[in-house]
Amino acid sequence: MKNINLLARSLAAVWHPCTQMKRHESFPLIPIARAQGTWLYEADGKRYLDAVSSWWVNLFGHGEPRIKAAISLQMDTLEHVMLAGFTHQPVVELSERLAKLSGLGHAFYGSDGASAIEVALKMSVHYWRNQGQAQKNRFIYLENSYHGETAGALSVTDVPVFRDAYAPLVRDNFCVMNPDTRQALAAETASDVAERAIDALVATLEKHHQDIAALILEPLVQGAAGMAMYDLSYLQKARLLCDRYQIHLVCDEIAVGFGRTGSMFAYEQANIKPDFLCLSKGITGGFLPLAVVLSRDEIYAAFYHDDISRAFLHSHSYTGNPLACAAALAVLDIFENDDVIAKNAEKALRWDMVFATLALHPKVRNYRRTGMIWAFDVVGVAPGFAQRFFIAALEQELLLRPIGNTVYFMPPYCLTDAEVRHLLSGTLAALDAVENVISEFVDAVVA
Ligand SMILES: *Cc1c(COP(=O)(O)O)cnc(C)c1O
């Protein structure tokens, strides 16, 4: 039996994120009592396979014992201290290790992903100001990009439903064509599409580069665009253009970092280095909020001065929280000790042979994979597909949350081969269930 009381109390007391609350008149909330590995459990034992890693944050499964132990141990000595004027072992060690992994230095901490984006945008503009180029204060972003919900992040996010209501708060920037491979015309390859997107970028740069501080993008996979995957040549050419036109490259790896695309960071695959790297989500394995911005030493140097107004005076209360840093250190240990990147490469190939069945489904188009992210688009569906599919998937013990008509898997890496088969059969069953709903829908409209 559902805990009706808890659901009513939640609707009365909690304003849930990314939700039209009135919808819950017809769709009940799902009360989760506990989680273990890839599974979320209701109090009565009903369970759901967390195929989207709880909004892309979970890496190694729920309740990962080594992360739990690290947080617990840290709790015994220091839960928090302000980071202005003070420092501590976990934040120093994490910063050193992230620098070693990324080749970028001086980690600046925030909490959620959007706070990292705000930091990177502000740092970029302030860098140019410190260089005597205060007019360089606008950004280029890609079509269908998503960088978070705060006002600065929305100004480089191309999702009208998230943005329109706040138009008066959001600054105008330059939106350019993205390299999403699904835009390929007849004989075009992925790299042809990337080339067309590069042409659009060049056109904007030629016209406006004097006023532009940075280009911001999600390397290899635009998550909220519906797992839009693209050719790495785009990153290589964009990097060269940023150098030529003297603007920063901000890589938002909040979603794709920590192995999701097959390498620790997605930009590595293009053999480039960003000027700013934004990380969050998976960084603590899904245990605690933590975000970080790493940057080139030359950027840090431009703020280092006797004059306080040249300093980066940004801060958040929980900056560099020791518990979150301890969780992140445990995550990095797991990557090393379990050889996660290499193991994932084997898993991805094995699982891809199972999931590829989906490509044969008559309603499926653009079946695709980058590293540990799978996605496909469902054609010929009535409006409201995402919501109906979400509910049909729950019936199959799956947590899947389509974006528009795109269904994707971004599972915790601990998924077992048996769970992979469950995910495939459940997805196929949910697709068929939704199709029935559609035929009923069509019948109703026709009748
Ligand atoms: C989720 C996400 C963000 C925002 O992170 P929050 O923690 O939700 O603020 C920014 N960029 C990308 C690419 C994301 O996927």
**Which top CATH class is 32-63+340-446?**
alpha beta
Distances (CA, A) of 167 to 157, 160, 225: 12, 10, 20
Domains 32-63+340-446 and 65-337 are alike in CATH topology: no
How would you classify the pairing of strands 34-36 and 39-41?
A: antiparallel
Extents of the domains making up the chain: 32-63+340-446, 65-337
* Cα–Cα distance for residue pair 160/277, rounded to 1 Å: 25
pLDDT confidence of 4, banded at 50, 70, 90?
A: confident
- Ligand 1 pocket test: pick from 158, 229, 256, 281 the residue with the most ligand atoms within 8 Å of its Cβ: 281
pLDDT confidence of 174, banded at 50, 70, 90?
A: very high
pLDDT confidence of 438, banded at 50, 70, 90?
A: low
What are the pLDDT digits (tens) for 49-101?
999 999 999 999 999 999 999 999 999 999 999 999 999 999 999 999 999 99
* Cα–Cα distance for residue pair 138/400, rounded to 1 Å: 36
**Which top CATH class is 65-337?**
alpha beta
pTM here is 0.96
- 315 annotated as a binding-site residue: yes
Is the beta carbon of 218 within 6 A of some atom in ligand 1? yes
- 252 annotated as a binding-site residue: yes
Ligand 1 atom 10: the closest Cα is on which residue? 147
What are the pLDDT digits (tens) for 264-307?
999 999 999 999 999 999 999 999 999 999 999 999 999 999 99
pLDDT confidence of 36, banded at 50, 70, 90?
A: very high
What are the pLDDT digits (tens) for 10-33?
999 999 999 999 999 999 999 999
- Reading phi first (left if > 0) and then psi (alpha if -120 to 50, else beta), residue 285 is in left
What tokens appear for 370 in the block? Answer: 């980058």
- 54 annotated as a binding-site residue: no
Residues 137, 146 contacting (CB under 8 angstroms): no
What tokens appear for 98 in the block? Answer: 């992230």
* Cα–Cα distance for residue pair 63/350, rounded to 1 Å: 25
- Burial zone of 441 (CB within 10 Å; 0-12 exposed, 13-18 middle, 19+ buried): middle
